[in-house]
Amino acid sequence: MSGGFVAVVGPSGSGKDSVIEWARAALEGHGGVVFPRRRITRPAGGGEDHHPVSEADFASAEARGDFALTWRAHGLAYGLPSAVSDAVAAGEVVVANVSREVLTRLPGLFAKVWVVRVTVSDEVRRARIIARGREDAAGAAARVARPDPAPDHPADLEIVNDGTLEQAGEALAGFLARVHGDLKAP
Ligand X SMILES: O=P(O)(O)OC[C@H]1O[C@H](OP(=O)(O)OP(=O)(O)O)[C@H](O)[C@@H]1O
Strands 33-34, 157-160: pairing is unpaired
DSSP labels, 131-161? HH--S-HHHHHHHHHPPPS-TT---SEEEE-
Q: Which residues are annotated as a binding site for ATP?
A: 10-17
Identify the residue among 3, 4, 13, 81 touching ligand ADP (CB under 6 A). Answer: 13
According to CB under 6 A, which residues from 70 to 129 bind ligand X? 73-74, 78, 97-101
Stretch near ligand X under the rule CB under 6 A, chosen from 9-17, 79-87, 104-112, 172-180: 9-17
Smallest separation, CB 42 to ligand X (Å): 7
Residue 18 interacting partner from ligand X, ligand ADP, none (CB closer than 5 to 8 Å by kind): ligand ADP
Q: Contact, 128 vs 15, CB < 8 A? A: yes
Cβ proximity to ligand X: between 48 and 170 the closer is 48
**Separation of alpha carbons 8 and 90, rounded Å:** 21
* Cβ neighbours of 79 (radius 10 Å): 23
According to CB under 6 A, which residues from 40 to 99 bind ligand ADP? 47, 97
Q: Contact, 62 vs 70, CB < 8 A? A: yes
Give whole-number Cα distances, 136 to 85, 140, 143, in Å: 35, 6, 11
Stretch near ligand ADP under the rule CB under 6 A, chosen from 37-45, 65-73, 163-171, 173-181: 163-171
Contact pattern from residue 32 through residue 71 relative to ligand X, giving x for each residue in contact according to CB under 6 A and a dash for the rest: ----------------x-----------------------
Cβ proximity to ligand ADP: between 12 and 41 the closer is 12
Rg (C-alpha) for the chain, rounded Å, is 16
